[in-house]
Amino acid sequence: MKKIFVIVLIMLVFSLSVEAKVKFGSWDKWDEELPPADNENWEWFYAGHCPVPVVGKISSEGNNINLLLLSDLYFKGKGGKVEVLVTFYTAGQESIAEWNIARANFALAAFPPKEGKMTIRIYIKEKEETFKFFEQYQIPFKKGETVVPEEAKFRELFKEFVVDQVVRIGAEELFAKINEEKLSSHLLPKLLVEETWYAMRAPW
């Protein structure tokens, strides 16, 4: 009898561990890392199929200098259904024409809403072009909601990244108009919720 009980207990533990895996589309390691850049299920969310530059200033030659590159993609499931929305942040010095997922620095993933809440996961690129899970939280699923809450650890990390980009392009005069905290917060996306779809969009 004891032997049967132990076997049942082991099977129960195993089933719980399997259920703990987060699977959307064909990927079941969302709680560990993003799907690799060459996964066939990545698709651009908007037309254009290239990053959107965030301009830091106009150079003395009259050319735009990019502060950041913002890329909106999604990971599709069966029938091309949007499973997970993912916004990638990349240093502005990267080439727009040559951009791919592996060139990004951070990724913010929004998972399908449930019971008025949306799960957000943050991923940070580590060596070998792998985006490792960093942080997770839930936000209200409503229009205009900032995707990254104020108490998130990622806020400080992102602020340091934005400040570094400002310094790199020599646009420190930005901080005379807006402080580091407000600038980095302004560059975080908000939820855009319509009747039949939703998205993450930065407010510029």
Which residues are CB-neighbours of 108 under 8 A, at least 6 positions away? 86, 87, 89, 120, 121, 122, 123, 147, 148, 189, 200
What average pLDDT does the structure give for the chain? 85
Closest CA to 113 of 146, 139, 143, 74: 139
Q: Assess contact for 146 and 158: CB atoms under 8 A.
A: no
pLDDT of residue 204: 54
Q: What is the pLDDT of residues 104-152, one digit of tens each?
A: 999 999 999 999 999 999 999 987 779 999 999 999 999 999 999 999 9
Phi, psi of 53, deg, nearest 5: -75, 145
28-to-5, 83, 96, 116, 117 alpha-carbon distances in Å:
30, 12, 30, 23, 21
Q: What is the pLDDT of residues 52-80, one digit of tens each?
A: 999 877 766 667 789 999 999 999 988 78
pLDDT of residue 47: 82
Can you give the C-alpha Rg of the chain in angstroms? 20
Amino acid at 61: E
List b or e across 4-43, with b for residues whose CB sees 16 or more CB atoms inside 10 angstroms. Answer: eeeeeeeeeeeeeeeeeebebbebeebeeebbeeeeebbe
Of the pLDDT bands very low, low, confident and very high (cuts 50, 70, 90), residue 96 is: very high
User: Is pLDDT above 50 for 15?
Assistant: no
Of the pLDDT bands very low, low, confident and very high (cuts 50, 70, 90), residue 22 is: low
User: Is pLDDT above 80 for 21?
Assistant: no
Instruction: Round to whole Å and give the CA distance between 190 and 183.
Output: 14
Q: Assign 168 to helix, strand or coil.
A: helix
User: Is pLDDT above 60 for 16?
Assistant: no
Q: What is the pLDDT of residues 166-198, one digit of tens each?
A: 999 888 888 888 899 999 999 999 999 988 889
pLDDT of residue 128: 74
**Residue keyed to tokens 């589309």:** 25
pLDDT of residue 134: 97
